[in-house]
Amino acid sequence: MTAKANPAPAGTAPRAGLVSRLTHPRLYCTLIALALLLVIPLASGSPFLVHVFVTICVFAALATAWNIVGGYAGQLSLGHTVFYGIGGYTTALLIAHFGLTPWIGMLIGAALAALVGIGIGYPCFRLRGPFFSLATIAFLEVVRLLAIHFNGLTGGSAGLIVPLNLGWAWMIFRDKVNYLFIAFGLLCLTLLVSWAVRSSRLGFYLTAVRERDSAAQAAGINDNRVKLIAIALSAALTALVGAFHAMYLTFLEPATMFSLATSVEIAMFALIGGLGTVMGPLLGTVLVVPLAELARGWLGASANGLHGFVYGTVLVLITLTLPGGLVGTFGRRITGWIDALPGGARPEPQPAPALAEVGGTPGEPILVAKDLVKRFGGLTATDNVSMTLKRGEILGVIGPNGAGKTTVFNQLSGFLKPNSGTVEVIDAAGRRHSPSTPDAYARLGVGRTFQIVQPFGKLTVLENIMIGAFLRHRSVEAARASALRVARLVGLEDVKDVEAATLPIGGLKRLEVARTLATEPSILLLDEVMAGQSQADTAKMVQLIRAIRDTGVSVIAIEHNMQAIMSLSDRIVVIDSGKVIAEGAPQAVVRERRVIEAYLGEDYVDAQGL
């Protein structure tokens, strides 16, 4: 992108130039539609229409900003005007007390709002659905009441009037058209940020975290971090718009700047248009705001409450009939039409980037678990389990149901903290690491699958695999190419564009492996990946695991399919009742008396005279 960037490696396609992008119908259609927001009011020359379109731009920008955290990250904030109010009050107070131009004041307000957003998000993101919403409402109420209480600073309930210095420097104009230019600019800015988030790694990560936390962490995503980035961006953009809107209204009072009803409206526009889509919030606003503004304009005060009643009813109807919103429901069909316009060809796929080399000396320890103890209440699920995985080997873990195999896996991948004992990962250079979170394990090269499959149901198969690929490839194109290679390897290429939720169980098991492989692990933890597979698929899976090992990856596999695990493993560990009861070469282990006892009971052992 810049002159400083390294020369592109051989085989990488050149980035699409600006001109070729401009000729893409999705872009020019968007630009034409956006331009209408300026052209219609300018052509009409009516101050009322200008006002309506300023309002549309403001609310569309607010809804677009809200959508970054409410839609992409799935965190339903119903107190978003807290950021809008912070932007407005910061800007107005900086003008009143320090004579600072609102252009700088709004940036300071945005920075402050981002900090407050992180302060709200950090403790509250662990709350589930409605309780997160309630917490955001509570924060909004607290801020509103404090704004009323500290009336020396904010003017309290009586309100605050913005000093009326005319001109661009003070963002106060006699000619309302100037406001329209600024509002339109802010809308374009938020759309651009929203689009950039959506089409980058961050966007995929947010979707992954929203869909399934545990699988996202296993793919190396720090879930809190991505959500905090989302709320900081969203809060900052909301504050910018709030600052402008305060300049436009020239009057601030806590009841309107920190309004719960406005918070709900913002979220509602996004839902009507389509949560988690780039254009949805804008579309929802364009459809609903003019209705309300026109009703207010024509009917005046007698229609007090009418627009709110319409909003609420539309909201309920949308949830009942079009929960995906307009874009979520009709978007695919319409983008299909748009792509059929001239210039809509799909770009050539990139060749897959080279795999990272797995270094280190085969046979040396790579993962060492010592004396792992994990208790759940009175139950000791793992009792002093120690095991060592050597570089380049396949270690089989077997044991009866409920023996504690998956609990060991959860401790080896950071999903459970042992009550005592340690897990160490040794990297290629021989350094020892003891990570503490699942995503830190993933970044160190420990990839795991889940026994109970954890697909991101609403993403396609390829996108699921891409979530894993992003761990090593930052750019979307490289991740897509890398994911495609993995899909081919695992045998999911035919279904790559299918929604993951529709796969049968065998396919979902392979998807687990694919997503984990895409993180390019050096240690692969496989939890019963053969279960639910057909005979033929099991054979293919055995081959696949061998092929993976041959690239230098070390594997631990939990498996109930005895035939498969015996032929596959270099070594076997047997776990029963939370303890390691046998360890060694496959053929030696299955002859051990304790192992047969554990599987078939003492009576069987006695009866066989073993």
Binding interface with another protein (CB under 8 A): 74, 76, 78, 123-124, 126-131, 133-135, 137-139, 141-142, 145-146, 148-149, 260-261, 264, 267-268, 271, 275, 303-309, 311-316, 318-320, 323
Of 330, 300, 325, 301, whose CA–CA distance to 315 is shortest?
Answer: 325
Residue 260, SS3?
helix
Residue 511, SS3?
helix
Least distance between another protein and beta carbon 538 (Å): 32
What does the DSSP 8-state code read for residue 499?
Answer: B
Pick the closer one to another protein by CB: 156 or 584. Answer: 156
Pick the closer one to another protein by CB: 261 or 355. Answer: 261
Pick the closer one to another protein by CB: 262 or 406. Answer: 262
What does the DSSP 8-state code read for residue 72?
Answer: I
CA dihedral 109, 110, 112, 116 (to 10 degrees): 130
Inter-helix orientation angle 280-299/260-273, to 10°: 120
Least distance between another protein and beta carbon 497 (Å): 23
Residue with tokens 């309780």: 131
Of 164, 166, 87, 75, whose CA–CA distance to 124 is shortest?
Answer: 75
Least distance between another protein and beta carbon 309 (Å): 4
Pick the closer one to another protein by CB: 38 or 295. Answer: 295
CB 284 within 8 Å of CB 63: yes
Pick the closer one to another protein by CB: 209 or 553. Answer: 209
Residue 411, SS3?
helix
Pick the closer one to another protein by CB: 75 or 410. Answer: 75
The alpha helices in 45-173, defined as continuous H runs, are 47-67, 81-98, 102-124, 129-149, 151-154
Least distance between another protein and beta carbon 128 (Å): 5
Residue 594's contacts (CB-CB under 8 Å, 6 or more residues apart) are 574, 576, 581, 582
Least distance between another protein and beta carbon 261 (Å): 7
CA 332 centroid distance within chain = 21
Least distance between another protein and beta carbon 575 (Å): 29
Cα 32 from Cα 515, distance rounded (Å): 39
Pick the closer one to another protein by CB: 208 or 268. Answer: 268
Burial of 34 (0-12, 13-18, 19+ CB in 10 A): middle
For the four alpha carbons of 568, 573, 574 and 577, in that order, the dihedral sign comes to: negative
Least distance between another protein and beta carbon 420 (Å): 26
Cα 160 from Cα 158, distance rounded (Å): 7
Residue 51's contacts (CB-CB under 8 Å, 6 or more residues apart) are 176, 293
Cα 89 from Cα 255, distance rounded (Å): 13
CB 125 within 8 Å of CB 224: yes
Pick the closer one to another protein by CB: 40 or 137. Answer: 137
Burial of 558 (0-12, 13-18, 19+ CB in 10 A): buried
- Structure-token pair, residue 575: 């776990």
Centre a 10 Å sphere on the Cβ of residue 61 and count the other Cβ atoms it contains: 31
For the four alpha carbons of 32, 38, 43 and 44, in that order, the dihedral sign comes to: positive
Least distance between another protein and beta carbon 299 (Å): 11
Of 498, 500, 501, 567, whose CA–CA distance to 530 is shortest?
Answer: 567
Least distance between another protein and beta carbon 85 (Å): 16
- Structure-token pair, residue 471: 């761990």
Pick the closer one to another protein by CB: 135 or 490. Answer: 135
Pick the closer one to another protein by CB: 76 or 208. Answer: 76
Pick the closer one to another protein by CB: 45 or 305. Answer: 305
Pick the closer one to another protein by CB: 129 or 336. Answer: 129
Of 299, 190, 280, whose CA–CA distance to 244 is shortest?
Answer: 190
Least distance between another protein and beta carbon 311 (Å): 6
Least distance between another protein and beta carbon 275 (Å): 7
Pick the closer one to another protein by CB: 64 or 262. Answer: 262
Pick the closer one to another protein by CB: 48 or 309. Answer: 309
Per DSSP bridges, beta strands 394-398 and 554-558 are parallel
What does the DSSP 8-state code read for residue 8?
Answer: P
Least distance between another protein and beta carbon 105 (Å): 26
Least distance between another protein and beta carbon 302 (Å): 9
Least distance between another protein and beta carbon 127 (Å): 6
